[in-house]
């Protein structure tokens, strides 16, 4: 996987453009979770069907093992949740720069999602 391809502006819209909500937060003291909620089924399906969001990509962006990346799709909510282990200090420990985990979704926002197959 070439990370520069995933962020190439010619590939399509960013996750940030497609999602209505993008956020990160602690999932206990040892894990971070990322929520992406889409405004409609079309945007949600576009992201899922693109197969761009993979454990391999998240692993490369956050420097965690692929086997530690969980990506779960929630069709009823047009949402995707990614969970990874925290890579720095545990939440609230000395040296923790983001005690709530609320600023950790930034590496995901620029990921480019190709147009849906029907709109190509």
pLDDT at residue 3 is higher than 90:
no
- Separation between Cα atoms, residue 13 and residue 30, nearest integer Å: 32
**Could you give the count of Cα atoms lying within 13 Å of 5 in the half-sphere of its Cβ?**
6
Task: Tell me the domains of the chain and their CATH numbers.
Answer: 3-89+108-113 (3.30.70)
Tell me the pLDDT tens digit for each residue of 73-89: 999 999 999 999 998 77
Q: Are 107 and 63 in contact (CB under 8 A)?
A: no
Model confidence, pTM: 0.90
């Amino acid at each position: 996987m070439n990370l520069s391809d995933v962020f190439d502006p010619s590939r399509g819209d960013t996750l940030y453009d497609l999602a209505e909500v993008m956020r990160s937060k602690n999932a206990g003291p040892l894990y971070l979770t990322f929520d992406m909620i889409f405004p409609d089924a079309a945007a949600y399906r576009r992201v899922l069907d693109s197969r761009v969001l993979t454990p391999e990509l998240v692993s490369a962006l956050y420097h965690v093992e692929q086997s530690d990346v969980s990506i779960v799709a929630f069709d009823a909510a047009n949402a995707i949740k990614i969970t990874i282990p925290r890579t720095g200090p545990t939440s609230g420990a000395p040296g923790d720069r983001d005690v709530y985990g609320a600023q950790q979704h930034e590496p995901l926002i620029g990921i480019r999602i190709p147009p849906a197959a029907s709109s190509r």
